[in-house]
Amino acid sequence: MTRTSSELDLRDGAAVEEFFAAERPATVVMAAAKVGGILANSTYPADFISDNLRMQVNVLDAAARHGATHLLFLGSSCIYPKLAPQPIREDSLLTGPLEETNDAYAIAKISGVLQVQALRRQHRLHYISAMPTNLYGPGDNFHPQNSHVLPGLIRRFHEAKLADAPSVVVWGTGTPLREFLHVEDLARACLFLLENYDEPAPINVGVGEDLSIRELAELVADIVGYQGRLKFDTSKPDGTPRKLLDVSKLHGLGWQAEIGLRDGLTQTYAWYQEQLATGAVRTA
């Protein structure tokens, strides 16, 4: 059983308690979060830490109280130190300073990991946490200010193509390296981990390969069919220089991503165009 955010506000402890008391799910996947790109994280840090902490505490505590025997908490690769050795191993957690542009969100997610570990220790529950890399795919948020980098680029290049704009501005220098995982691969990984993983330590979920923001922008432009110039606004923040997850632990269990980046982006752009045609694309 699921509820949308309009049906159940996870920040409302009483509403969450009522839901778990009535439904009593045996397995819970905590994927809900307040998320956004560099601009949103930098502008609303109080909202990001407060909303995410409330959602996590409400859901995890209610799940334990009402008999959920298995739970998967989804964190984020931003929990790791800004300058962690690459690729980032799970044991890099809490070994150095965080990236300043999203530290409030990262602290909230770190708290979720520690809450999972505490519930395991105190109540002997099969609760686990997974740290996905940057995600993309159908259903993403394409808001012009609050989106993550990939949907933001798709929207920007699509609108530039329609307007026959001579150039498109990309934030930063274009040099940071990022890894991207399709949401359908993450869904498969979640099911796999619930059936095959039961340890207190978080486990990384990614593809094990990255590319620069410049390369990403050029790939998106090619898929969208935009032929103008790229202009990099170096006054805007780059964020973490590199954020590639070490996924050897997950690969050792027998799981690997299946959807290549070009294929996944082509599919996502087709979905975006279909949503635009029906007026259903999510922009907030």
Binding residue positions for NADP(+) = 74-77, 109, 132-135, 148
Catalytic hit among 44, 80, 105, 272: 105
Query: Distance between CA 28 and CA 31 in Å, rounded?
Result: 9
HEC profile of the chain: CCCCCCCCCCCCHHHHHHHHHHHCCCEEEECCCCCCCHHHHHHCHHHHHHHHHHHHHHHHHHHHHCCCCEEEEECCHHHCCCCCCCCECHHHCCCCCCCHHHHHHHHHHHHHHHHHHHHHHHHCCEEEEEEECEEECCCCCCCCCCCCHHHHHHHHHHHHHHHCCCEEEEECCCCCEECEEEHHHHHHHHHHHHHHCCCCCCEEECCCCCEEHHHHHHHHHHHHCCCCEEEEECCCCCCCCEECECCHHHHHHCCCCCCCHHHHHHHHHHHHHHHHHHCCCCCC
80 in catalytic set: no
45 touches 103 (CB < 8 A): yes
Active site residues: 105
